[in-house]
Amino acid sequence: MELLSPKNFKDYELIDVGGFEKLERFGQYITIRPEPQAVWDKTLSNAEWEKRAHIKFISKSSSSGEWKKLKQMPDQWQIQYKINNSDSAIKFRLGLTAFKHVGIFPEQASNWDFIYETIKKMSVPQPKVLNLFAYTGGASLASKAAGADITHVDSIKQVVTWSKENMDISGLDNIRWVVEDALKFVKREEKRGNKYNGIILDPPAFGHGPNGEKWKLEDNINEMMAGVLNLLDDKEHFLILNAYSLGFSSLIIENLLKKKAGANLNIGELYLQATEGNKLPLGVFGRFRNF
């Protein structure tokens, strides 16, 4: 089992984490946000956190809240990530949402590097890649930057619009956008006989499709993966499955993927390393490639 953390994300820093919160730098701005996994104590004092931070998220319920500005900062700003520490930079427009998110999951940078490197090594001139539960499109941008024909699927129209902004400011184009329930999309692609050289999934623990379809990770993931594995190209393919859910083991990922992946399967945890010393676990992953 492997532990993966971004190594060269210059526009992001996890400064400290603990007490169910995390102190993070996105570009030049520092945020305080809730973090349910951070059950240990902070390294720095609360006073030090508030001295450094520009803004803090105050939870009003389990799913929403509001931001309290501690220093002047804009409501929207941009950061970039140089994939594989190369000259290929993807850019993100960040913003303050009512759900504590700012528009990026920085731990996924480890997967963006894997995606970019894998696509570059494929013999297919323009590999077909499918990104499911695609959020604001980090994996889609990495795929497109590497030369893939990428289809981006998410159930929330506003998030897809946000992804388009990220494509534009990254100087990329021609990503195919689909606003649909991911499981419905996969089943339809199966019926059509479509195949992909790469498939990326980052499903939430809970979610809803655009027409009220319900998604619950433990209830639906087996059906989803059965369909997804049928969409992989027989000759050249890769797959990444992430799962951020408390108590969800990487061994579950192994059991879902090992029949297709065989000895090529790599499982483990994604984490962020705090400057002040602690590691923040942020989900389990499984990935493999065959070409």
72 plus 199 within the same structural domain: no
108 plus 8 within the same structural domain: no
pLDDT score of 154: 96
pLDDT score of 86: 83
92 located within any domain: no
Task: Quote the mean pLDDT of the chain.
Answer: 95
147 plus 20 within the same structural domain: no
Q: Does the pLDDT at position 247 exceed 80?
A: no
**What is the value of pTM for the model shown?**
0.95
44 plus 164 within the same structural domain: no
Query: Is pLDDT larger for residue 1 or for residue 268?
Result: 268
Mean pLDDT of 1-27: 97
pLDDT score of 258: 95
CATH number at residue 123: 3.40.50.150
Per-residue pLDDT reduced to its tens digit, 61-102: 877 899 999 999 999 999 999 998 888 899 999 999 999 999
Q: What gap in Å lies between CA 166 and CA 270, rounded to an integer?
A: 23
Q: What gap in Å lies between CA 237 and CA 128, rounded to an integer?
A: 9
38 plus 112 within the same structural domain: no
CB 284 within 8 A of CB 248: yes
205 located within any domain: yes
CB 112 within 8 A of CB 188: no
Query: Is pLDDT larger for residue 212 or for residue 17?
Result: 17
Range of the domain at 30: 2-76
194 located within any domain: yes
Whole-number CA gyration radius for the chain: 19
Per-residue pLDDT reduced to its tens digit, 128-165: 999 999 999 999 999 999 999 999 999 999 999 999 99
193 located within any domain: yes
141 plus 209 within the same structural domain: yes
Q: Does the pLDDT at position 261 exceed 90?
A: yes
CB 131 within 8 A of CB 151: yes
Q: Where do runs of H (alpha helix) occur along 34-145?
A: 46-52, 109-121, 138-145
65 plus 124 within the same structural domain: no
252 plus 117 within the same structural domain: yes
Report the number of distinct structural domains present in the chain.
2
Q: Which of 102, 78, 112 shows the shortest CA–CA distance to 8?
A: 112
211 plus 281 within the same structural domain: yes
143 plus 250 within the same structural domain: yes
CB-count burial class (<10 Å; 0-12, 13-18, 19+) for 255: middle
180 plus 58 within the same structural domain: no
35 plus 113 within the same structural domain: no
